[in-house]
Structure 1
């Protein structure tokens, strides 16, 4: 049974495809709503060493608290409450110390977040099945059946695609669904063995715009953690990216960031072994169909906003909790899915559009080397204060509009 007394949609079981950020949170939120879920992950084991660093904003942490996973993530994250914006010459033009009533944004490696969420979900009794790469899915008289590459299958009342920006579930729902949109920039990250002389105050993340963009902050071990972009009209394939030695990528970055403050210094103190070639910066354009029948999308599979937003993981977590709430309260999966989309689409698409505009600056596709941002407090308030009202009931009126009582 759920913590609100029943199964609103009649859904009792779910297949969650994908074990990244959204998958474990989705299963935990479904459990809280009285729905048993199994997470099916394509890789043979939980992700380790996958991806670079990310930020988990206060709104994402609040959504995690709904499923009781916030403490597990706080234990491994580095609080970075502040933000400083500069130009490529080192001139500061905006700063913000964080909202005192909110927790600080946490930075942590992506794979450590995956591991923490998975471990928490397993401890809560969520079942994970590895080596299960989805091939297709079909609705049956009993629900929906997923077919995997190892010739096994599984059936449940609903199927939720939490399988990332290259989602298979998205193409099952709509074979004509859009594919990820390249932002014109290759993403890199690294650790620089330089500390205070880089001019970074502890507890602040810096965003240095100009001819080239770089973000950086001081890590827990005193080294500088940085992320940067290399504009490229055509993205390399993953194979091409892997073939080019890190020393060559580093040489290209050093050439681009010559004269950049502090990019030139940070790259000079970064060795090839400390460089991460993350890959093309991508986002999902507007996806016409978030759901069909008993199948629905959540997280990056439907609204990946690109790393420029600083909100990718947080939005995925929010959406997982919101979807579970709608399934808890509405009488059919179709109504629950429609309400979930209505509640989430405006927010996630607005954030995605803003990130796309920043990507154009990073790719050198605009005449303005420094974006005309609003004040950081005004920019961050609608992001960081957003909350999923788990304790309130989702209602759909006769017009189909979603309303939440206050």
Structure 2
């Protein structure tokens, strides 16, 4: 079978452009098709990239600009009421890098060919390639198609109409910059379990405090969430977090207009079929762990690069896809399982409160042996020079 020469990548978030950059590095022509009509300049909140994710970004030349646009987190703390637990990390592995999502998009898009306003309608695998059609009427052909189109993936349903969809975690994501300062050293992130919900915070560059909130709420699309006035969201946050310290004061001092509404938080259950014919999934379209993992973006970056490596080295498409799935499935599902054990107490309620002692013991286990718990995650490195 002829080696893959052209690739259509669906989705211009993180995994899609990374896949295109890695494919081009491998000598394969790749174009990204993004459904939104414009770039995401200034849109969205922040994400954390773990050391393994930064190492993967380095393969496609994006680590240095991403580091320059981010702020490093060297220290992590968990609080439950007045209880405070220092979470030892892996100092020699490097820090987490917190970056505005739109800044990462901009960095990746600088060198990845992206066409905007291209919403995929259908795609058909043929013996010699893929034929895809978009809502604007354009039709394209390529050797293969990669679905990097997020948790609500169209490509996933084309590969397997019976594929599971994303599960709502019961929380919405909001964040903002409060002018209030907290007594934490720079580079610290605090994970706080309040009386009725979870939030995190840390000193912001230039002063004040960045606060991220996982608000227990009914499901809303991002459009529905952003249609609600931000002053109303602030009132809702104070109802849930107003009695927490320092969460209540951080929110009270946060100007409503500076509140960013990021919408519902979803996770992906295990997806039975990662590929079919000449279509394959990567990133959140096939594995989106809870944000409790701290690995969502990093795993997406890794998978996009390892998929490109398989296509570079294995001429047969089916074998390349199968090898990619074998390399990735166990890793991503193990991370997702770890994060799921934490997620149940972010929106406490009676069950979550009952589980809190169990979660505390789990965190103590982590504190005693971070190398065993997160070492395999953060020390993972892709050997791009290796031929598979």
Specify the TM-score bucket, using the shorter chain as the normaliser. Answer: over 0.9
Deviation of 1:52 (Å): 0.9
- Is 1:220 aligned to 2:211, yes or no? no
Which residue matches 2:374?
A: 380
Alpha-carbon contact 1:209-1:369 (below 8 Å) kept: no
Contact 1:210 1:369 in 2 (8 A): no
> Secondary structure, in 3 states, of the residue corresponding to 1:321?
helix
The residue that corresponds to 1:158 in the other structure is 144
Write the mapping of 1:342-353 to structure 2, written as runs, cut at 5 A: 342-353=326-337
Q: Is the 8 A contact 2:126 2:278 kept in 1?
A: no
Contact residue 9 and residue 329 of structure 1 kept, 8 A: no
Q: Structure 2 CA distance, aligned partners of 1:322 and 1:210?
A: 39
Residue in structure 2 matching 1:99, options 90, 94, 107:
90
Q: Structure 1 residues 326-335 or 372-381, which shifts more?
A: 372-381
Is the counterpart of residue 42 in structure 1 residue 35 in structure 2?
yes
RMSD: 1.7
> Following the alignment from structure 1 to structure 2, what is the Cα–Cα distance between the partners of residues 328 and 118?
22
Aligned to 2:340: 356
TM-score (norm 1): 0.89
Q: CA deviation at 1:278?
A: 1.6
Q: Residues of 1 paired with 2:2 and 2:326: CA distance? A: 17
2:285 corresponds in structure 1 to 301
SS for the counterpart of 1:304 is coil
Task: Say whether 1:114 aligns with 2:110.
Answer: no
What are the ranges of 5 or more consecutive residues in structure 2 without an aligned counterpart? Answer: none
Structure 1 runs (4+) deviating above 3 angstroms are 237-240
Q: CA deviation at 1:140?
A: 2.9
Q: Post-superposition shift, 1:334?
A: 0.4
**Which of 268, 278, 283 matches 2:267?**
283
* Shift, 1:67, TM fit: 1.5
Q: Is the contact made by 2:222 and 2:264 (CA closer than 8 Å) also made in structure 1?
A: no
Cα offsets for 1:137-170 (capped at 9, x unmatched) = 0123430011001100111111001111111111
Deviations 1:374-405 (A, max 9, x none): 324233212210111222232xxxxxxxxxxx
* C-alpha distance 9-184 of structure 1, shift in aligned 2 (>3 A): farther
Cα distance in 1, alignment partners of residues 214 and 25 from structure 2: 40
Instruction: State how 1:157-176 maps to structure 2 within 5 Å.
Output: 157-176=143-162
- Measure how far apart 1:295 and its partner are: 0.5
How much has 1:15 moved relative to structure 2?
0.6
- Residues 10-60 of structure 1 show CA distances to partners (whole Å, capped at 9, x for unaligned) of 111111111111111101111122211111111122212332111011000
| Contact in 1 for aligned 2:81/2:193 (Cα 8 Å) | yes
- In 2: Cα distance, 1:275 partner to 1:299 partner: 27
In 2, Cα distance between the equivalents of 1:225 and 1:190?
6
Give the conservation status (yes or no) of the 8 Å contact 1:170–1:297.
yes
The TM-score with structure 2 as length reference comes to 0.93
Aligned length: 377
Counterpart Cα distance in 2 of 1:164 and 1:336: 22
Distance 1:291 1:36 in 2: 20
Q: Which moved more, 1:368-377 or 1:259-268?
A: 368-377
5+ residue gaps in structure 1? 1-7, 395-406
1:332-379 deviations in Å (ceiling 9; x for gaps): 110010111111111111111222222211122421336222324233
Q: Structure 1 residue 138 and structure 2 residue 132: aligned? A: no
Alpha-carbon spacing, 1:321–1:237, altered in 2? closer, same or farther (3 Å): closer
Matching residue of 1:57: 50
Quote how far apart the aligned CAs of 1:221 are: 1.6
- 5 Å matches for 1:179-258? 179-195=165-181, 198-211=182-195, 212-232=197-217, 234-258=218-242
Against the structure 1 CA distance between its residues 237 and 71, is the aligned structure 2 distance closer, same or farther, given a 3 Å change threshold? Answer: closer
Once the two structures are TM-superposed, the CA of residue 239 in structure 1 deviates from its matched residue by 4.6
Aligned partners of 2:15, 2:2: CA distance in 1, in Å?
A: 21
List per-residue Cα deviations over 1:71-130 (Å, max 9, x = no partner).
1211211111211111133x312232x4332332111111111111111x2xxxx42211
For 1:141 and 1:292, the matched residues in 2 are separated by 12
Higher helix fraction (1 or 2): 2
State the secondary structure of the residue aligned to 1:368: helix
CA distance in 2, matches of 1:183, 1:225: 23
CA distance in 1, matches of 2:224, 2:282: 30
Match in the other structure for 1:321: 305
